[in-house]
Amino acid sequence: MKIHYKNKSIEIFAKKVSPIGKVLGLMFKSKETDNLLFEFKNKTKMKIHSFFVFFKFLAVWLDEKNNVVDFKIVEPFEFSVSPKKPFRKLVELPFNDKNRKTISIFVGKSSARPLPSSIKRKI
């Protein structure tokens, strides 16, 4: 799918989630999992959480024409995350090597890099 952000078209490959997938999202998955696409019939401001998600991910909220309405970096075990405006679609992109380039478009190169394993062990 192509999404539109700052006069750019960005190709994102995301797996559309089932109704059960909408409940589970990225919970209990590894950071190497597929990107997820959540679609809703009507505009919503539904909140998301990252309980049992053990890696950070980028949440990108879209309107019905795939224009970005908001995006946020979601850390593991956040209680509540929501966009500023209503949306029709949500894409969740795990911070991993295959998403590094796409995530850097939104948040810059330094934020898109995963932590080196030597630092991860100290945290």
Are the C-beta atoms of 117 and 52 separated by less than 8 Å? Answer: no
The yes-or-no verdict on residue 11 having pLDDT over 80 is: yes
Give the residue among 34, 19, 30 at the shortest CA–CA distance from 92: 34
The yes-or-no verdict on residue 14 having pLDDT over 70 is: yes
Mapped onto helix, strand or coil, the DSSP state of residue 106 is helix
Measured between alpha carbons, how far is 111 from 109 in angstroms, rounded to an integer?
Answer: 6
Q: What is the pLDDT of residue 78?
A: 97
pTM of the prediction?
Answer: 0.87
The yes-or-no verdict on residue 38 having pLDDT over 90 is: yes
In order of their start, the domains of the chain are 2-122 (2.60.120.1140)
